Amino acid sequence: MEESGVSLVRLDLEGLYQILALHQSVPLDFDDAYQYVAAEKHNLTLISFDADFDRTERGRKTPQAVLRA
């Protein structure tokens, strides 16, 4: 996997609790909240077409914005 630059990102039990807390404060569904917490924990940038992330502190980048950079 390292040769491709792809890594598996997982959350521990604390991360799952963070998903629940985030879900209560920001209206994200489970998979969006999981991606958000994983990005936060691993200091990753969210790249998505999903405008729901725009309501979060971390925000997102669109695929178009990344490809232009």
Per-residue pLDDT at 64? 95
Per-residue pLDDT at 3? 73
8-60 pLDDT, tens digit each: 899 999 999 999 999 888 889 999 999 999 999 999 999 999 999 999 999 99
Query: pLDDT category, 2, cuts 50, 70, 90?
Result: low
Question: Do the Cβ atoms of 27 and 55 come closer than 8 Å?
Answer: yes
CA–CA gap between residue 2 and residue 48 (Å, rounded): 23
Question: Do the Cβ atoms of 19 and 33 come closer than 8 Å?
Answer: yes
Specify the pTM.
0.83
- When computed from its CA atoms, the radius of gyration of the chain, rounded to whole angstroms, is 13
Task: Kindly tell me the burial class for residue 33, based on how many C-beta atoms sit within 10 Å of its own C-beta (0-12, 13-18, 19 or more).
Answer: buried
Nearest Cα residue to 45 out of 56, 54, 36: 36
